[in-house]
Every structure is written in structure tokens, then in C-alpha cells.
Amino acid sequence: SFQTWSPREFYDLINILGSYGLQPIDVLRLLINLPSTDKIIITNENLKQCFENLLTLKFDTTTRSILISNDPNIIQYDLNYLRERLDVLLFYFTKREIY
């Protein structure tokens, strides 16, 4: 749970997610679905790796919400599945390799 987080840490997390174009409802859904609130896993770098491609894809708000919150298994312990899913989408829509 986020009870161990300070208000500042929680605020910073929400700001980071918002900077990737997530709407408030997306942020809430994402936070609800996170299986861990481990500060070692939920880092700026991990979030950046997950959401950089989401920004590149420029989906509308509804599509972004569906991608992030419709599948309860999308967000696994280390966020790798979410990152891989967004990588695949970027590859599909841009038809290029992702490095």
C-alpha cells in the first residue's frame, strides 16, 4: 500500500505519470492495479521505460485508458509486461525495430 509513502513522494509519482499524458483517471487505475508499492520498483526510470512509447504513439485519452487499465494483469510486479506491451504496439504502428 502507499501508506508508507510520504505525501511528497506520492505527489511526485502522480506528477511523473501526468507528464506522460496520463489523465487523472488513468493514474488512479494504474495505482489501484499496481501489485507492489515498492519504491525500488516504482522508480522514475521504470516509469519512463514504460511510458515513453505511450507518448510516441499519441493515442487518444480513451485508448490510453483502455491500454493501461482494462487488463488487470497488464501491470505485473516489475512493470516489464506493461513496457513490452507498449513496445509491441509501437512496433505494430511504426513497423520498425525497437532497441
Q: How confident is the model at residue 1 (pLDDT cuts 50, 70, 90)?
A: low
Domain around 88: 2-94
Asked, for residue 99, whether it belongs to a domain, the answer is no
Full-model pTM: 0.57
Cβ contacts of 85-94, under 8 Å, gap ≥ 24: 86/50, 86/51, 86/53, 86/54, 86/57, 87/53, 89/53, 89/57, 90/53, 90/56, 90/57, 93/57, 94/56
Q: How confident is the model at residue 62 (pLDDT cuts 50, 70, 90)?
A: confident
Work out how many domains the chain is built from and give that number. Answer: 1
Asked, for residue 67, whether it belongs to a domain, the answer is yes
Asked, for residue 74, whether it belongs to a domain, the answer is yes
pLDDT in tens, 29-60: 777 777 667 777 777 787 777 777 777 777 77
pLDDT score, position 96:
62
